[in-house]
Chain A
Amino acid sequence: GAGVSQSPSNKVTEKGKDVELRCDPISGHTALYWYRQRLGQGLEFLIYFQGNSAPDKSGLPSDRFSAERTGESVSTLTIQRTQQEDSAVYLCASSLVWGAHTEAFFGQGTRLTVV
């Protein structure tokens, strides 16, 4: 597709279960970002991948959160032992090259609800 694709679009899970969220970046984009948007709040940076460099994990809120990316393709964000405070919209973005000046293209997000 032409844009960043995220799946599922909605996910309801029980507290304590693990979830996996998927992001397909725009083809050829070397940088990939995950953000979280809680209700009524701005976007929080979670993690950043750039090519084969070590990811910037500085935004991950706890060790229950992890993410992987294979090369310059798909990324998965995994949340283990979900808690109610994990309920949020998880947004993925990709950009053509790394750098603070480059435009990030966002997916429509995965709305996660933990019950």
Chain B
Amino acid sequence: AQSVTQLDSQVPVFEEAPVELRCNYSSSVSVYLFWYVQYPNQGLQLLLKYLSGSTLVKGINGFEAEFNKSQTSFHLRKPSVHISDTAEYFCAVSESSGNTGKLIFGQGTTLQVKP
């Protein structure tokens, strides 16, 4: 079984500052890793995903994440945030050898960007 822990429930940050949203996972098998974003009153949207290859993954809106197998982490980063980045961010995993896209989600981190 897999589990995902997002270490911060809320992250307040000022506009143009860097941000890191932390995600750790636990799994006995290989996994794929995802970050989804949920803007206010909208559905979840894929930010980026790690399947294989380079451990640094770049996504939409200037976000990137680094897969660290030894630390079982997949932290999300952005060097300079905007007000429009205010949203709920979810880290998720799926079993890479599985034949479904069933996702196991973390509890979410609310990013609050202040002017």
Contacts and interface: CB of A to CB of B under 8 A. Distances in A.
B101 A42 contact: no
A47 B3 CA distance: 18
Contact of A48 (B42, B95, B100): B100
B11 interface: no
Interface residues of B, number: 29
Interface string A90-115: 01010100111111111111000000
Given A100-B32, A106-B45, A108-B41, A42 B100 contact: no
A44 B101 CA distance: 14
Contact of B100 (A100, A106, A108): A100
Interface string B72-115: 00000000000000000010101111111111111110000000
B101 A99 contact: yes
Contacts of A99: 99-101
Nearest to A45: B102
Interface residues of A, number: 30
Given A42-B4, A100-B96, A101-B32, A106 B44 contact: yes
B102 A48 contact: yes
Nearest to B46: A103
Contacts of A44: 105
A50 interface: yes
Nearest to A102: B101
A71 B41 CA distance: 30
A101 B51 contact: yes
Nearest to B51: A101
B42 A108 contact: yes
Nearest to A95: B101
Given A42-B4, A43-B90, A100 B98 contact: yes
Contacts of A52: none
Contacts of B42: 108
5 contacts: A3-B43, A48-B102, A59-B102, A91-B43, A100-B101
